[in-house]
Chains A and B, each alone.
Chain A
Amino acid sequence: MKKCSKLLVASLTIFTVMSSSLPVFGATKFTDSKVPAVTTNNEGAASMKVIKAAQQGVYDQGTINAEWAKAKKKPVMADKASVKSLTNEIANLTTGTYPTRKGVILVTADWYKGLLPTGHSGIIWSNATVVESLANGVTTGPNNWNLTKNTCYGVTTYDTTVEEDAKASDWCYSQIGKPYNYNYFNPYTRSTFYCSQLVYASYLDLYGINLDTISYLNAVHPMELVNSSETFTIYQK
């Protein structure tokens, strides 16, 4: 019986090795760079555990799906027309066109491995550039969300002019280099930012417009930027 067990173990070992450890043909072995471990300036590991547990509770998939369903139902409207008064040209006013105007808020519902559960947001800084907060902090990226994201919303606020939106974008740009804020329940700090907090902070600090809704407690989820009564949708993919 002992021999039987040994043979069985040997067989299982062969089976396991063959089925899981075979190399992918034609590719060299690659060690993936991981998203840096969660670290904060002032909070210890224990408090981070509490924060993460709370985040998991708040960001449950059912709530997120319901919120995105709400966002999808918002009508797509024409962008603000005040560009015309300045330039005598109507820029990007075709309803549903992917936005290029400085200060338009971009939101995606795409799921990503790591960081904020479901979604991401940024703000257009130039025709081809977006300001966003990523794992390494506030930075810029190409304005190509209509290509690289599966879902994308362009939203803007009711009570600001295009010039004020541009200033909000500049405010976000001036935060470039500040680190990522892993404590989603603290959108009040201005020394660190997560993606939707960055956009939220610019409108709150400059114009007193609060894009946070009652969802997700005091955390600001990207979808709140779409569902807020302060904003309307000008593009949806």
Chain B
Amino acid sequence: MRRIILVGILILALIVALLVFLFKFKGKESFNKDFNIAIVETTEQINESYLTFYNEDLKKIGAQKIELGSMGSSFDLPRVYDKNMYVIPKGIGNAKELSVIMEYNMETGNYKTYDIKQHNINSFSVDDTSIYTVNTLNYNSIISCYNKSSGKVKTISIEKVYIERIDLYDDTIYAFGMLNDNQGIKSYLYLIDTKNFEIADKIDISESGIGQYYSNKIEDNLYFTNQTEMSFRAEKPSKTLSKLNIKDKTISNIQLKEEFPFQILKYKNKLIISHYDLVQIKGNKITIYDPKTNEQKVVTLENELAQIHIKDDKLYSMDRDYIYVYSINDTEFKLINKVDIHTKRESKTFYYLSGFIVK
């Protein structure tokens, strides 16, 4: 009789454990390698973020928790290199204690972090062997080169200049920075040779403007946008798209019709430039610019353009709540789908959408 009771207790415990297991993972979503779009939802309040996965029809097909906080914004959008997505996770908002770059494998859903040992990273770039980052400390900006194999870090310090963004093209880091003192703001572009990891050139780009948060190298030209410009000792919105010829180092400034140029994407033989004020988080226009004829056409889209991406004649775009897909027909953009992607809106913790990638 006693044995029967004991066996009964054991079976009961196993049933309870099974129920707990099923309850805990009921509806629990996971990585889905068949995704077309991955959205980053993050918070500054705890070390936690979510990737949510959508297919081509914008149907949600999975989600994955990442135990890292403050994973980006329009200032530092996720980047894709090879089969990996990279993001700067800064940690808790009022501490920004993390000093790492996250590498997320888009095929397996596994992620790891590379500890650069520099806090509050402003921007980063990646190549086959290294991760390059920039942060500001002791009044100076520190550009770090982290070797992915050995874990060794080399640094370059640039005194008194605040480097906001770095981009890497063909073994050269282009580092955009500003010097902000009583005389006003000066902007500089540093060219850093990655082979020797040393500054190869410094170009004064103050005439172009302030706040370079995007660039794109097309043939021999480096295009970059400027968010603001100096006007009588105060910053005012910029309309300038700049072009650096990397052979002769000359800069030409192209005046666009709209303010706050941000992302520059190549589409066929034209450039698509989004107009978005990163600080006021506003802007729903794009300029279609023909570099050969200098012709411009402005198109107004239906959403704020926190991020745009072009793939297969489609423009993907995100605002603070939705992702939108537009079909592109020459210079015509037609909204063909949109979906609410803010899955953590009702959470007690405040989450925001910080960026997306298209596979």
Interface residues of A (CB under 8 A from B): 3-4, 7-8, 10-12, 14-15, 18-19, 22, 24-28, 30, 32-36, 83, 86-89, 91, 97-98, 100-101, 110-116, 120, 125-129, 132, 134-136, 139-144, 146-150, 167, 170, 173-174, 176-177, 195
Let me know if A4 and B138 touch, CB within 8 A. Answer: no
Let me know if A128 and B95 touch, CB within 8 A. Answer: no
- Taking a contact as CB atoms closer than 8 A, the residue among A19, A89, A136, A148 that contacts B231 in the complex is A89
A110-B44 contact, Cβ under 8 Å, with A125-B180, A127-B227: yes
Let me know if A97 and B280 touch, CB within 8 A. Answer: yes
Tell me, yes or no, whether B320 is within 8 Å of chain A by CB. yes
Residue numbers in B under 8 Å from A100 (CB-CB)? 235, 279-280
A134-B120 contact, Cβ under 8 Å, with A87-B234, A128-B279: yes
Q: List 28 A-B pairs, Cβ < 8 Å.
A: A4-B5, A7-B9, A11-B17, A15-B13, A15-B20, A27-B31, A27-B109, A27-B111, A28-B110, A30-B111, A30-B113, A33-B99, A34-B97, A87-B231, A100-B235, A110-B44, A110-B93, A111-B45, A120-B94, A134-B96, A135-B96, A136-B119, A140-B162, A143-B279, A144-B279, A148-B44, A150-B350, A176-B138
Kindly state the separation between the CA atoms of A135 and B91 in the bound complex, as whole angstroms. 11
Specify the chain A residue showing the minimal Cβ separation from B115.
Answer: A33
Residue numbers in A under 8 Å from B67 (CB-CB)? 27, 30, 32
Q: Tell me the minimal C-beta distance from A24 to chain B in angstroms.
A: 6
User: How many contacting A-B pairs (Cβ < 8 A)?
Assistant: 217
Let me know if A26 and B30 touch, CB within 8 A. Answer: yes
Let me know if A147 and B120 touch, CB within 8 A. Answer: no
Per-position contact with A for B194-236: 1 when CB-CB < 8 Å, else 0? Answer: 0000000000000000110100000000000001100111111
Q: Tell me the minimal C-beta distance from B220 to chain A in angstroms.
A: 29
Residue numbers in B under 8 Å from A7 (CB-CB)? 6, 9-10
- Taking a contact as CB atoms closer than 8 A, the residue among A12, A19, A115, A127 that contacts B95 in the complex is A115
A14-B17 contact, Cβ under 8 Å, with A4-B5, A27-B65: yes
Those of B41-77 within 8 Å (CB) of chain A? 44-47, 62, 64-68, 70, 73-76
Interface of A is mostly: loop
Specify the chain B residue showing the minimal Cβ separation from A83.
Answer: B234
Let me know if B120 and A136 touch, CB within 8 A. Answer: yes
Let me know if B13 and A14 touch, CB within 8 A. Answer: yes
Residue numbers in A under 8 Å from B213 (CB-CB)? 128
- Taking a contact as CB atoms closer than 8 A, the residue among A22, A114, A170 that contacts B21 in the complex is A22
Kindly state the separation between the CA atoms of A42 and B64 in the bound complex, as whole angstroms. 44
- Taking a contact as CB atoms closer than 8 A, the residue among A22, A98, A136, A177 that contacts B279 in the complex is A98
Those of B170-210 within 8 Å (CB) of chain A? 178, 180-182, 185, 210
Let me know if B66 and A141 touch, CB within 8 A. Answer: no
Q: Tell me the minimal C-beta distance from A111 to chain B in angstroms.
A: 6
Residue with the greatest number of chain B CB neighbours at <10 A, chosen from A111, A120, A129, A195: A129
Residue numbers in B under 8 Å from A135 (CB-CB)? 94-97
Residue numbers in B under 8 Å from A174 (CB-CB)? 139
Kindly state the separation between the CA atoms of A205 and B16 in the bound complex, as whole angstroms. 65
Specify the chain B residue showing the minimal Cβ separation from A150.
Answer: B350
Let me know if B68 and A147 touch, CB within 8 A. Answer: no
Residue numbers in B under 8 Å from A195 (CB-CB)? 94
Residue with the greatest number of chain B CB neighbours at <10 A, chosen from A114, A136, A146, A149: A136
- Taking a contact as CB atoms closer than 8 A, the residue among B2, B64, B93 that contacts A120 in the complex is B93
Q: Tell me the minimal C-beta distance from A155 to chain B in angstroms.
A: 17
A144-B75 contact, Cβ under 8 Å, with A30-B67, A89-B236, A170-B181: yes
